[in-house]
Amino acid sequence: METRIPEMAETLRAIFPAFGAAGRPLVRPLFGLLAQGRPVTPEALAGATGLPPATVRRHLSAWWGVRFDDDGAVIGFWGLDLFATRHQLRVGERDLFAWCAWDTLFLPGLIGEEAEVTTLCPASGDDIRLRVAPEGVLDAEPDDVRLALTIPDPQAARANVRGAFCCDVRFLVDADAARQWQADHPAVRLLSLEEGHRLGRAVWAGLLGEEG
């Protein structure tokens, strides 16, 4: 899998918006503010970045993969969410949530904080617990957890990334469960936790212009 990570990263970038040079300065601050556990208003993001609120609103409205509340504040952004999903992240004293298993491997790097991850194996129903730092996975229970990931159709993912992609990205308790899951879901690709983390870093490095 190691040799395929650059190829997979390039393929997966197609499901994300092209943040571009003008939009990239908003991305990490938005993750950081959302990780505080509260909705992020365009005004708050403007204050954190020094950009005009109108510019912030224009970028946010142009991007898919953003969830807003009724007041127009961001409550979910590219994997990080304030409302419950099957993947919980405990960051400090804050309960946050991820759209898919893979998100939990790269979100700590984007928010700059360690996270305790809790989720369930869809095959066995067993608990899976991880401790993930910005630099990678520190602990896993069980210790042979695998990531199952399906490459989505980019157009479908752009229309509904959670339905077209996130629902098919799960952790399995061990290699045997992962192989059985793959047998039942032939499009699935299996990665170790380290490979999943490296894939996430490669995708976001490209999106944010931080490659090299």
Tokens of 126: 């067993």
Which residues, including other chains, have CB under 8 Å from residue 115's CB and lie 6 or more apart? Answer: 89, 90, 91, 96, 104, 107, 108, 131, 132
Q: Contact at 8 Å (CB) between 110 and 137?
A: no
Give the integer Cα–Cα distance in Å for 158 and 18.
Answer: 11
Half-sphere exposure of 204 (CA within 13 A, CB side): 21
Predicted pLDDT at 211? 76
Tokens of 202: 């490669």
Counting as low any pLDDT under 50, the low residues of the chain are 1-2
CA angle at residue 92 from 197 to 135, to 5 degrees?
25
CATH of 2-140+193-207, one of 3.40.1310.30, 3.40.50.1000, 3.10.150.10, 3.30.450.410: 3.30.450.410
Predicted pLDDT at 183? 95
Give the integer Cα–Cα distance in Å for 111 and 116.
Answer: 13
| Domains of the chain by residue range | 2-140+193-207
Give the integer Cα–Cα distance in Å for 15 and 115.
Answer: 25
pTM for this predicted structure: 0.94
Residue 152: closest CA among 65, 70, 30: 65
Neighbouring C-beta atoms of residue 139, cutoff 10 Å = 11
Predicted pLDDT at 208? 97
Q: Contact at 8 Å (CB) between 125 and 169?
A: no
Residue whose entry in the numeric block shows the structure tokens 């304030």: 82
* DSSP label of 71: T
